[in-house]
Structure 1
Amino acid sequence: MAAPTDCSLIATDLDGTLLRGDDTFSDRSRAALALAARAGARHLVVTGRPAPRVRPLLEDLGVTGLAVCGQGAQVYEAGTDRLLWSVTLDRELAETALGKIEAEVGELYAAVDQDGVDGLTLIEPGYLMPHPTLPAVRVERRDDLWVRPISKVLLRHPHLTDDELTATARSVVGSLATVTMSGPGTVELQPCGVTKATGLALAAEHLGLERGRTVAFGDMPNDVPMFHWAAHGVAMANAHPELKAVADEVTTSNEDDGVAVVLERLFGGAEPSVPPHALPRPGSGRVSR
């Protein structure tokens, strides 16, 4: 599907998409977002990171409006540092889901993101943070993970791949939670029915923006619902095959300013030299939404 020529909403994931591997935004990406803003388009960050872990990145971008955080569990207003909407994962259901998964695959290591603008990321013994720049507090035992309301649970297995762990978790968790994979070493349980698409839809409605004029960018399977919701989905060259399979277009990698490549084309910036794999693939993407 061709990208809308009157795009009014740009939804971007962060890790592996708009962010480079060193957790910074390139000058080219900043300039492309500014170009889109001058054309009247709104930019929404839509990320798996919880609001407290997103706050400094939004400040760096100069964002004072909304952001969708926690895989869609939070709609955060940066300018006022408050959550306009949030949903928590029932802690008893989370424990039950963990037990069901461990009955299939053996011992897991778990972490949680607490709800709220000051929520912490707690990790149990044995859990290694997949993203070393993100702060976390180690607890002594699993029961300590449940001391406050949580927005999601993060899982790691000592031997299974992310794809294997995700598939097994989905097969046994059922309606207890939504299972998603959001990055290397990051398999997550979130409230049932909550996805990036549900959070993006809430934020778009709040802003009075239409899904039919939305272009979304991402790199991992947790972005699939967002691509189904948006009018046009753009996967990064470094994206997971599951996301590329439903994308309307594949751009260059996050390290090669893939978001900027598309925004410059859509909003009339300088035409960069785009490698063939970054162009829309004939017959690719979804037949309908």
Structure 2
Amino acid sequence: MRLIATDVDGTLIRSDHTLSTRTRRAFQAARDAGIRVLAISGRQPYSIGAIVQGTALMGPCVGSNGAVITDLETRQVLWQATVAIDVQQRLVDEMTVLFPTLKAVSVRDGGDLYFAEAGYQGLADPGELETLWPVTQRIGDREEVLAAPSGKLVLRDDHHDPADLLAAARGLGIDGFHATTSGAPFLEVGPVGVTKAVALARLCDRWCIDRADVVAFGDNLNDVEMLRFAGLGVAMGNAEPEAVAAADRVTLTNNEDGVAAVIETLL
């Protein structure tokens, strides 16, 4: 075990969005033992940093389901990928034919800018955001939202389940994007060929770590590729069936500190 990679929501943190003392201690013990630790999430780095600030997980992190790697200590973007403008425009156009009330949000600038389509429901009030550094929110028409490449493109229709949006997006026959869900009430669209596993592999190359020496934790559809990539993929006790099927082992739930329980045993 040379690297521990963990999803955040439904995995690292409890349902009340807190990071338990036991989990903090487990990651600190791992780092003290010379093991690299990494938070890897559909969230953006500013949000991941707000959660792990003051813990052993401060350092490089992966956001946007693998589309951005940022050093939380320096705020330096180490790597990022984006969805091409023409791809996201075509995708949104064709999805709107199927879901007329669909709205989009373009997440840009390493996750520090949210450009939401007018009428989008669900954008948090800036004063309520937990951030390690300031972020920007803008609202405009669809043409403006889709006029620049997105690290993550959010598609939401409150009249339809995200699973329905995912099935539809995958069935359109459009190349150039990767779609997934994370338990949030929207579809998450990223660059083609980019997943949490791809970002994790990039960091393994950077740190000269074999995938066999990686332990990864996850609970949802956007964790499947990462769980398969790791030498030991661990699904949470509260995980979706797809994550369980991709994992080598199932631990306790996030509310029972399932991540910490495995780390303690492995150490």
Same fold (TM over 0.5): yes
Cα distance in 2, alignment partners of residues 50 and 194 from structure 1: 15
> 2:197 matched to which residue of 1?
197
Q: 1:59 aligns with which of 53, 64, 86?
A: 53
> 1:163 matched to which residue of 2?
163
Residues 37 and 56 of structure 2 are in contact (CA less than 8 Å); yes or no, is this contact kept in structure 1? no
Query: What aligned pairs does 1:202-241 form with structure 2 within 5 A after superposition?
Result: 202-241=202-241
Secondary structure of the corresponding residue to residue 174 of structure 1: coil
Cα deviations across residues 48-72 of structure 1 (Å, max 9, x unaligned)?
A: 1122322323423254431111111
Superposition deviation, residue 37 in structure 1: 1.9
Q: 1:96 aligns with which of 90, 94, 115?
A: 90
Superposition RMSD on alpha carbons, in Å?
2.1
> 1:120 matched to which residue of 2?
113
Superposition deviation, residue 103 in structure 1: 2.1
Q: Which runs of 5 or more residues in structure 2 are unaligned?
A: 131-135
Superposition deviation, residue 148 in structure 1: 4.6
Residues 28 and 56 of structure 2 are in contact (CA less than 8 Å); yes or no, is this contact kept in structure 1? no
Query: What aligned pairs does 1:1-289 form with structure 2 within 5 A after superposition?
Result: 7-116=1-110, 119-129=112-122, 134=129, 137-146=137-146, 148-267=148-267
Identity across matched positions, percent? 37
- Which residue identity is paired with 2:117? E
Cα distance in 2, alignment partners of residues 69 and 140 from structure 1: 24
Q: Which runs of 5 or more residues in structure 1 are unaligned?
A: 1-6, 268-289
> 1:281 matched to which residue of 2?
none
Secondary structure of the corresponding residue to residue 106 of structure 1: coil
Superposition deviation, residue 179 in structure 1: 0.6
Cα distance in 2, alignment partners of residues 158 and 242 from structure 1: 24
Cα deviations across residues 143-174 of structure 1 (Å, max 9, x unaligned)?
A: 23235542011111222212121111111153
Residues 38 and 61 of structure 2 are in contact (CA less than 8 Å); yes or no, is this contact kept in structure 1? yes
Secondary structure of the corresponding residue to residue 183 of structure 1: coil
TM-aligned CA distance change 1:183 to 1:134, over 3 Å: farther
Cα deviations across residues 28-82 of structure 1 (Å, max 9, x unaligned)?
A: 1001112222322111111111223223234232544311111111111222210
Superposition deviation, residue 206 in structure 1: 1.1
Cα distance in 2, alignment partners of residues 131 and 22 from structure 1: 17
Superposition deviation, residue 240 in structure 1: 1.4
TM-aligned CA distance change 1:22 to 1:130, over 3 Å: farther
Residues 88 and 115 of structure 1 are in contact (CA less than 8 Å); yes or no, is this contact kept in structure 2? no
- Which residue identity is paired with 1:233? G
Residues 101 and 173 of structure 1 are in contact (CA less than 8 Å); yes or no, is this contact kept in structure 2? no
Residues 11 and 219 of structure 2 are in contact (CA less than 8 Å); yes or no, is this contact kept in structure 1? yes
Superposition deviation, residue 239 in structure 1: 1.4
Residues 130 and 184 of structure 1 are in contact (CA less than 8 Å); yes or no, is this contact kept in structure 2? no
Cα distance in 2, alignment partners of residues 60 and 100 from structure 1: 44
Matched residues, number: 260
Residues 235 and 249 of structure 1 are in contact (CA less than 8 Å); yes or no, is this contact kept in structure 2? yes
Cα deviations across residues 170-217 of structure 1 (Å, max 9, x unaligned)?
A: 111531311111223131111111111111111111112110011110
Residues 67 and 82 of structure 2 are in contact (CA less than 8 Å); yes or no, is this contact kept in structure 1? yes
TM-aligned CA distance change 1:234 to 1:128, over 3 Å: farther
